[in-house]
Amino acid sequence: MASAPRCPSCCAGCATAKINVVTTQASPRFTFSQRLTLALVPRIVWALLRLVGLTWRFQVIAEADATPLPGGAGAGAEVFAFWHQCVLPCAIYFRRTGATILISRSFDGELITRILALFGFRAVRGSSSRGAREGLLGLKQAIESGHPAIFTADGPRGPIYRAKMGPIKLAQLTGARIGSFHLEPKHAWRMHSWDRFLVPWPFTRIVVSWSRWTQVPADLPEADFESKREELDAAIERARLNALAHLGKAAQ
């Protein structure tokens, strides 16, 4: 976690960015320790990531007929999708886009929401299992207001490298096309998590790889949604594999 422009994945003004919350349920109640974590951790993570992010060097590549958006510049009322493992570099690279991201209603989701808000991102709350309808409507509102919507396509719990149906439904609902990308660091710590989460080293080079747009017709029959989801899978995977090949790394 969808490398994304006028700046998507931090400037001083971003620290006061507002979070758009779309929900029909009361806000969850957190324990004292959770409230303390939410008060302290986001700014610590924001400061550390901003500091390390200043040392990263980004290189943009794109497959034939793809339209790269360096730094997310020019991203408008469109849908973007990437794999969950590259959330950290995406937060830095796309921080000025004002993009809206779908994030779960869990405590972890609340923590991520507050961190990303400091980077200038907006959020709607929901997931493929809880609050899916409200989350989709919130992203639709973002598209209709001219802002990009981003999905960590295989999040929040996987399986890895398999997109959920959300980006397809949103594109079909709004007529927006889907941009696919991946950010691959030359050197990174790889976590032992379901998504093989990447933590780029300081001063490393990060390849920002773009695939061709995925188009979803407004009249697409529901029976054809799965084939479109597979097409999106293939597009994001091409971006990832092209980045690995560019860095001379074996597919993982």
In this structure, is residue 1 part of a structural domain? no
Residue 215 phi, psi (nearest 5): -105, 135
In this structure, is residue 155 part of a structural domain? yes
How far is residue 163's CA from residue 150's CA, in Å, rounded to a whole number? 13
* pLDDT for the residue numbered 8: 40
Dihedral, CA atoms, 138, 134, 124, 160, nearest 10 degrees? -110
Looking at the structure of the chain, the number of domains it has is: 1
* pLDDT for the residue numbered 11: 39
In this structure, is residue 251 part of a structural domain? no
How far is residue 192's CA from residue 185's CA, in Å, rounded to a whole number? 17
How far is residue 218's CA from residue 204's CA, in Å, rounded to a whole number? 42
The domain of 203 spans 12-246
* pLDDT for the residue numbered 130: 59
Give me the CATH number covering residue 142. 3.40.1130
List, for residues 100-131, the tens digit of each pLDDT value: 998 878 888 899 899 999 999 999 987 655 55
Q: What is the pLDDT along the chain (252 residues), one digit of tens a residue?
A: 444 444 443 333 433 334 344 433 445 688 999 999 999 999 999 999 999 999 999 999 999 999 999 988 889 999 999 999 999 999 999 998 989 998 878 888 899 899 999 999 999 987 655 557 788 899 999 999 999 999 999 988 899 999 999 999 999 999 999 999 999 999 999 999 999 999 999 999 999 999 999 999 999 999 999 999 999 999 999 999 999 999 999 988
* pLDDT for the residue numbered 127: 64
Pairing outcome for strands 149-152 and 178-185: unpaired
Question: Helices (DSSP H) in 7-105: which residue ranges?
Answer: 32-53, 87-93
In this structure, is residue 252 part of a structural domain? no
* pLDDT for the residue numbered 53: 97
In this structure, is residue 6 part of a structural domain? no
In this structure, is residue 178 part of a structural domain? yes
* pLDDT for the residue numbered 28: 62
* pLDDT for the residue numbered 128: 59
In this structure, is residue 67 part of a structural domain? yes
> Taking the model in full, what pTM does it have?
0.83
How far is residue 220's CA from residue 209's CA, in Å, rounded to a whole number? 28
